[in-house]
Structure 1
Amino acid sequence: MLKGFKDFILRGNVIDLAVAVVIGAAFTAIVNTLVTAVFNPIIGALFNANDLKDALKVTIPTVSGGSATILFGAVIAAVIQFIIVAAVVYFALVLPINRLSKIAYAKLKKEEDATPADVPPTETELLIQIRDLLAGVPSPEGDHTLPSTAAGAQPSSGGRHAE
């Protein structure tokens, strides 16, 4: 039981995922700080607010006689944060990996084209060749007709001898 657990923990995918989670958490802290410390104040200044979260507030009355505030600026800040994360993930991870995959695929394809494929024929291809040989049809590889037997005699079938 412990051996199975050890194999599971030391499997490459689990370690890669653990590293990704830790790096993702650190990256999230950087993006959150960037959005709250740089972008929110800049966009908030356009709306005469200290922060984007303080901008575009709408106060509505409640049934109990009080009021509630809708914070459209906070929603816009979340959208900006999402766009920044998506852009960084795309340009820092997806785009380079796609480019490397294309290069690796092109190299692999080039190697495959350079070496002829020594793939044996399929069962269907072999049966077609046998049928064509029996019918006396020349094959694309050359004329492989059956050798003729004694003058006009038909080859025996199934190993039987004429009586």
Structure 2
Amino acid sequence: MFKGFKEFLLRGNVVDLAVAVVIGAAFNAVVQQVVDSLINPIIGMVFKADSLDGALLIGLPGGGAIALGAVIGAVINFVIVAAVVYFVFVMPMNRLRRPAPEKNEPAVPTEQELLTEIRDLLRAQGGAVAQGGAAAPGAAGAQPVTAAGTAPAEGEVPPHKH
């Protein structure tokens, strides 16, 4: 029973989640202080209220009130937290995870480009290229080509490639 609980607690995801919750709580305190010390006084100056919680109150019959300022304050908190999390944590992590492009790496030619290059070299050497196009190796009428790029003389065996 305790062994399974220990394995659960020591899993990487649980530890990461615990760290994220603690950091999130600490970060929320910082954001709340920024809102209370910076944004609330500016909003209070505009709306003649001490904080967003007291701004834009809409009285209801029966004595209640809708606090639109408190909702706006919560939205501002959320936007600040989301922006900081994205720009401080997500964006740098995405950059670190993305593989860096290799510099001065020559482009790898495609199979089609290689075949075209081989055909053109054979054509330039006057080798095994017929008028209608390149002859396939081993095809009827195809002449083997030696290392020097020429067809072997009659009776001569072409060198074998390994």
**Is 1:85 aligned with 2:81?**
yes
Which residue of 1 is the match for residue 53 of structure 2? 53
Indicate yes or no: 2:41 matched with 1:41.
yes
Match in the other structure for 2:4: 4
Q: Percent same amino acid at aligned positions?
A: 55
- Asked whether 1:70 is paired with 2:66, we answer yes
Secondary structure, counterpart of 2:60 in structure 1: strand
CA distance, structure 1, for counterparts of residue 63 and residue 138 of structure 2: 95
Q: 1:11 to 1:143 in 2, by over 3 A?
A: same
User: Which residue in 1 is equivalent to 2:119?
Assistant: none
Structure 1 counterpart of 2:74, which letter? Answer: A
Matches within 5 A, 1:119-158: 143=137
- Once residues 33 and 52 of structure 1 are traced to their aligned partners in structure 2, the CA distance between those partners, rounded to angstroms, is 13
The residue that corresponds to 1:25 in the other structure is 25
Task: Count how many residue pairs are aligned between Structure 1 and Structure 2.
Answer: 111
1:98 pairs, out of 94, 104, 109, with 94
CA distance in 1, matches of 2:100, 2:9: 31
The separation in 2 between residues aligned to 1:3 and 1:87, in whole angstroms, is 41
Q: What TM-score, normalized to structure 2?
A: 0.58
1:149 — aligned with what? Answer: none
- Determine if contact 1:43/1:52 at 8 Å carries over to the other structure: yes
1:15 corresponding residue in structure 2: 15
User: Are the counterparts in 2 of residues 49 and 55 from structure 1 also a CA contact under 8 Å?
Assistant: yes
Relative to structure 1, the CA distance from residue 53 to residue 10 in structure 2 (aligned partners, 3 Å threshold; closer, same or farther) is same
CA deviation after TM superposition for structure 1 residue 19, in Å: 1.1
Q: Is the 8 A contact 1:44 1:53 kept in 2?
A: no
Query: Is the deviation greater in 36-45 or in 19-28?
Result: 36-45
Structure number with the higher helix fraction is 1
Whether contact under 8 Å (1:47, 1:55) holds in the other structure is yes
Tell me if the contact between 1:48 and 1:55 (Cα under 8 Å) persists in the aligned partners.
yes
Query: Could you tell which deviates more after superposition, 75-84 or 3-12?
Result: 3-12
Measured after TM superposition, the shift of residue 144 of structure 1 is 5.9
Give me the TM-score of the superposition, normalised by structure 1.
0.58
The Cα offsets for residues 47-66 of structure 1, whole Å up to 9 and x where unpaired, read as: 111112111111121xxxx3
